[in-house]
Amino acid sequence: MRAKVRELLKQKAAGKVRKAGRPPTVEQWMTTFLDTVCARKVEDGSMAPRTLDDYRSKVALYVIPGIGKHRIDRLTPDHLDQLYLELLRRPLASSTVLKVHRIISRALKVAFQRGTVAENVALKVDAPSAEEVEIEPLTKEEARAVLDVAERRRNGARWSVALAMGLRQGEALGLRWQYVDLDEGVMRVWWQLQRLTWQHGCDDPHACGAKHHRKACRAGCTAHKAYKRGCPKPCPKDCTGHAKACPQRKGGGLVFRPPKGKNRRTVPIPPPLVALLRAHRASQLRERLAAGNLWEENDLVFCQPNGKPIDPRRDWAEWGEILAAAGVEAKRVHDGRHTAATLLVENGVGLRVVMELLGHSQMRVTQRYSHVSSALAEEAASKVGKALWG
């Protein structure tokens, strides 16, 4: 008994005594963390809705099945190490396992701050290392070929904005004319279009989505032979997904939201792009007149022929079509943003300015392009050497 008292006094002195009461399980706490802490952050704009969607997905797929039954105060570093090892052996990308670790650590940090646990055991675990995704920008020749093809398409200026200004997909699709000043040549990136995951609004999500639950395929299945990843995984027994089919679904679909933090910015428009946007606006006004009462007013710079927002999936598809027509190998839409950043650095723009133009929240993101500036510095040093010593 005395030993326990001494241990409690020691923990109290170290600030590691949790509040009284039976602690929740990891599953219960993660649910609280997502539904209250993270949901509030989404409401006040400090967390993007898609980030919360990603948290929910990873917690449901990896955290709860792996450590959900443990009481949160009895969670140990060994439990986390074992979870990460099992995920890596699946195999799961190391970057995904790192994200899982960060979600757990953030949830335990809040639990510690509120006295639910005596310490954040995730801090005692080495974070899984993740290989940085290689940047694959278009070359100047590829970029020009893409723009040449894009000019002949209805929303061709969309891709000029991507390659010249490096807007994120959601920022480009959420861009509104009221924030584009063609006379001054500036653009205010103040809105973005996002597709959010639907949530169940009913009382029994499991029963609601029952008819959509996937069952395991039979051995020798040929229905999914064209799938690169093989047959789709069956739903778990307690599946609460398929909210898209819920009659009372909520919180999903295409929505406009302001960017968070430094993502909200005012940037100059290159003069050639100003001319392209003027022509694009004139063309859009003609479409608006032709659509008549069918036109849906959203003030969007890039929209469907009836004024409605462009679905990001359709935007992806068009990007692929343009690349194919330009003879350029398949790349992500986001690689257009990498192209803009690379072109800026190659033309001598400092990393701090690139950071501001692209709306990077941290310099370490912009520093991924430092290899380009290093090459330019070496070239400059070589020129100086030749000038002095021949």
pLDDT band for 3, please (50, 70, 90 cuts): low
User: How many Å apart are CA 71 and CA 161, to the nearest integer?
Assistant: 51
User: How many Å apart are CA 52 and CA 38, to the nearest integer?
Assistant: 7
Q: To 10 degrees, the CA torsion angle through 302, 305, 310, 314?
A: -120
Q: Is the pLDDT of residue 12 over 60?
A: no
Q: Is the dihedral of CA 180, 356, 52, 112 positive or negative?
A: negative
Closest CA to 141 of 383, 343, 367, 371: 343
User: How many Å apart are CA 51 and CA 6, to the nearest integer?
Assistant: 43
- Residues in CB range of 62: below 8 A, 6 or more apart: 83, 87, 92, 100
Contact 247, 347 (CB under 8 A): no
Question: Peptide bond preceding 91: is omega within 30 degrees of 0, i.e. cis?
Answer: yes
User: How many Å apart are CA 146 and CA 140, to the nearest integer?
Assistant: 10
User: How many Å apart are CA 259 and CA 47, to the nearest integer?
Assistant: 10
Instruction: Give the pLDDT confidence score for residue 85 in this predicted structure.
Output: 95
- Residues in CB range of 187: below 8 A, 6 or more apart: 165, 175, 179, 180, 181, 266, 267, 268, 269
| Cβ count within 10 A of residue 342 | 24
Encoded tokens for 382: 């070589």
Q: Is the pLDDT of residue 18 over 80?
A: no
Sheet of strand 186-189, all strands in order from the earlier edge strand to the far edge: 180-181, 186-189, 265-268
Q: Is the pLDDT of residue 389 over 80?
A: no
Contact 150, 156 (CB under 8 A): yes
Task: Look up residue 302 and give its DSSP letter.
Answer: S
For residue range 356-375, what is the model confidence (pLDDT) as tens digits? 888 887 887 777 776 665 66
For residue range 249-297, what is the model confidence (pLDDT) as tens digits? 987 888 888 877 667 899 999 999 999 999 999 999 999 999 999 999 9
Instruction: Give the pLDDT confidence score for residue 373 in this predicted structure.
Output: 59
Question: pTM of the full predicted structure?
Answer: 0.76
Total residues belonging to the chain: 390
pLDDT band for 175, please (50, 70, 90 cuts): very high
Do the strands 192-196 and 265-268 form a parallel or antiparallel pair, or are they unpaired? unpaired
Contact 116, 18 (CB under 8 A): yes
Q: Any alpha helices (H) in 186-270, and if so which ranges?
A: 205-208
Instruction: Give the pLDDT confidence score for residue 22 in this predicted structure.
Output: 84
Closest CA to 59 of 16, 3, 99: 99
CATH of domain 140-195+258-382: 1.10.443.10
Task: Look up residue 74 and give its DSSP letter.
Answer: G
Angle at 184 between CA 182 and CA 190, to 5 degrees: 70
Contact 42, 49 (CB under 8 A): yes
User: How many Å apart are CA 229 and CA 99, to the nearest integer?
Assistant: 22
Q: Where are the domains of the chain?
A: 2-124, 140-195+258-382
Q: Is the pLDDT of residue 227 over 80?
A: no
Contact 101, 80 (CB under 8 A): yes
Q: Is the pLDDT of residue 6 over 80?
A: no
Element (H, E) at 338: helix 334-346
User: How many Å apart are CA 314 and CA 316, to the nearest integer?
Assistant: 5
Instruction: Give the pLDDT confidence score for residue 20 in this predicted structure.
Output: 53
Q: How far is CA 91 from the centre of its chain?
A: 22
CATH of domain 2-124: 1.10.150.130
